[in-house]
Amino acid sequence: MPWLVLVFTMAHLTISHVIRTFAGGDYETIEISGPQMVLTMKLTTFAWNVWDGRRPSEDLDKWQTEQRVVEFPSLIEFLGYAFYFPGFLVGPYLTYNEYQALVTGSLYKAAEQREESAINETNHLSQRLVPHGRKRVAYRKMFKGLVFLVLFILFYPEYNFTITVEDEFESRRLFSRIVLLQFCGFFERCKYYAIWTLTEGASIQTGLGFTGYTEGGRTKWEGAANVDAWNIEFAENTKVLLDSWNMKTNIWLRECVYKRVTPKGKKPGFRSSLATFMTSAFWHGIAPGYYLSFFFFAFVQTTGRLARSYLRPLLLPANYVSKRGAAPPPQTRKKQLYDVLGVLATVMLTNYGTLPFMLLTIDDSFVAWNSVVWYGHFLVAGALAFFYLGGNVLLTQVQAVRVKQAGYQMERDEINRNVRSLPGTPVKTTTLPPLDEAARTLEKRVAGKRGNGFAQ
């Protein structure tokens, strides 16, 4: 059933994309495909949540257990969820249980317990207690969104991806073209930073996004975030970038596509990543540029996963175990250099890979890629060739030697600690007598022997 809902909603959305494309409408024209994209996420997620509500609990993971829908909502409740107004146009998308927690006030259970004494004193019980501080955060988000909007208005007309297909851009030196591409990529993203930050502030204003309290006692409102500009512009790897960009859509793709196409008991691999990226491209529209971008990023993500699995451990202490909840690795010079190179590679591949996403057509995409000598394809293809032609085996062997040597060193250190911890054995220290006293004693013994000899 969830797959049928996904197919139907995606097909209906595709019809809107086709009408918009062939009707000659541009992206400045207000039409329904934008809100319909958000609604598609909500409906398909709701279908999977209902499906999970009828599965055994032991077959569900944490997210599926938390979001499962056991009882059907009423029509008015369902429509309220589907048309939640702060996120209706461009998101953020939310699950039905998150919407229900917002409406009923169960989202603020911790806040209710914290402020229960104050309520009892005034004897004024509110049906839905919203913690203090949301207006402060909402206005800050509004200001931040307006800053990005101003940057977009001021610089986007001169610095955008369309200049990469112009003759003037081609006449520049290669280094200048590559650097200019990075600036264009930032100003292209500013419009997304602006709209998603503004809608996040609007959602927080309604009470959505409460995530608890800081150590200082101030409320946190991080649950409605859809983008993290800092982590995108300075992402150390593609995983950090993808986790920080269009966060709610990433959750939808992960929970409704990525995990669902992966066979039970197996880890997601390249096929799962490719299916997820293709679904995302199909969700965005029918323009060929979407598919070029997402197909490229499927390989980028695979490259990043291989680098993290085989290369990154060589830059960390041999006995460091990377797992959830573990302390961050020590920042050695090699690790810091790796992070800096990771930031440069990630932002350059991001700006390169999103060229078709914004240019839309195959011809313009190839012209733009050719103007920067296809550097993204060479980087990714070279990395994949290295890993799949024996590089992963070589790096694994090197890491195994490091771990073995570290194990020997740990054993030696442990033996030394054990020896030092043993109780000391008392040793009688021989003190040499003064030399003159020893000489006199020796002379007396020699003289005595001589006397005895003469007497005989």
**pLDDT category of residue 113 using cuts at 50, 70 and 90:** low
Residue 455 has pLDDT above 60, yes or no: no
- What pLDDT score was predicted for residue 130? 82
Q: Are 195 and 143 in contact, with CB atoms under 8 Å apart?
A: no
Q: Which amino acid is at 188?
A: E
**What is the rounded average pLDDT of the residues 136-143?**
96
Give the residue, 99 or 423, on which the prediction is more confident: 99
- What pLDDT score was predicted for residue 127? 54
Active site includes 284?
yes
Q: How far is the C-alpha of 456 from the C-alpha of 52, rounded, in Å?
A: 118
**pLDDT category of residue 100 using cuts at 50, 70 and 90:** very high
Residue ranges of alpha helices (H) inside 285-359 are 288-306, 333-353, 355-359
Residue 94 has pLDDT above 50, yes or no: yes
Q: How far is the C-alpha of 265 from the C-alpha of 445, rounded, in Å?
A: 93
Cis peptide before 131 (omega within 30 of 0): no
Query: Per-residue b/e over 347-379, b at no fewer than 16 CB within 10 Å?
Result: bbbbbbbbbbbbbbeeebbbbbbebbeeebeeb
What is the Cβ-side half-sphere exposure of residue 76, based on CA atoms within 13 angstroms?
Answer: 1
Q: How far is the C-alpha of 256 from the C-alpha of 276, rounded, in Å?
A: 9
E strand map for 25-156: none
| DSSP code for 86 | G
- What pLDDT score was predicted for residue 438? 47
- What pLDDT score was predicted for residue 29? 66
Specify the range with the lowest mean pLDDT, choosing from 32-41, 243-252, 267-276, 346-355: 267-276
Query: Per-residue b/e over 153-178, b at no fewer than 16 CB within 10 Å?
Result: eeeeeebbbebbbeeebeeeeeeebb
Q: How far is the C-alpha of 447 from the C-alpha of 87, rounded, in Å?
A: 115
- What pLDDT score was predicted for residue 128? 60
Residue 437 has pLDDT above 60, yes or no: no
Residue 315 has pLDDT above 80, yes or no: yes
Q: Which two tokens stand for residue 172?
A: 């520049």
Q: Are 179 and 159 in contact, with CB atoms under 8 Å apart?
A: no
**pLDDT category of residue 233 using cuts at 50, 70 and 90:** very high
Which pLDDT tens digit goes with each residue over 398-407? Answer: 888 888 877 7
Q: What is the DSSP string of 147-212?
A: HHHHHHHHHTTTSSGGGGGSHHHHTS-HHHHHHHHHHHHHHHHHHHHHHHHHHHHHHHHHTTTEEE
- What pLDDT score was predicted for residue 273? 81
| DSSP code for 316 | S
Q: Are strands 219-221 and 210-213 parallel, antiparallel or unpaired?
A: antiparallel
Q: Are 226 and 247 in contact, with CB atoms under 8 Å apart?
A: yes
- What pLDDT score was predicted for residue 314? 85
Segments making up each domain of the chain, as ranges: 228-413
Residue 124: helix, strand or coil by DSSP? coil
Which pLDDT tens digit goes with each residue over 267-290? Answer: 777 788 888 888 988 899 999 999
Residue with tokens 């992960």: 254
| DSSP code for 23 | T
Instruction: Tell me the percentage of the chain whose pLDDT exceeds 90.
Output: 56
Give the residue, 387 or 426, on which the prediction is more confident: 387
**What is the rounded average pLDDT of the residues 133-141?**
94
- What pLDDT score was predicted for residue 298? 86
**pLDDT category of residue 264 using cuts at 50, 70 and 90:** confident
- What pLDDT score was predicted for residue 412? 65
Give the residue, 196 or 298, on which the prediction is more confident: 196
Specify the range with the lowest mean pLDDT, choosing from 182-186, 281-285, 329-333, 428-432: 428-432
User: Is the dihedral angle over the CA atoms 268, 271, 275, 280 positive or is it negative?
Assistant: positive
Residue 119 has pLDDT above 50, yes or no: no
**What is the rounded average pLDDT of the residues 416-429?**
56
Instruction: Tell me the percentage of the chain whose pLDDT exceeds 70.
Output: 82
- What pLDDT score was predicted for residue 454? 43
Q: Which of 12, 124, 132, 284 is catalytic?
A: 284
Residue 432 has pLDDT above 70, yes or no: no
Residue 218: helix, strand or coil by DSSP? coil
Which pLDDT tens digit goes with each residue over 357-366? Answer: 999 999 999 9
Q: How far is the C-alpha of 66 from the C-alpha of 98, rounded, in Å?
A: 10
Q: How far is the C-alpha of 34 from the C-alpha of 89, rounded, in Å?
A: 6
Residues 6+ apart with CB under 8 A from 226: 91, 92, 196, 199, 200, 246, 247, 248, 249
- Return the closest-CA partner of residue 89 out of 130, 140, 36: 36
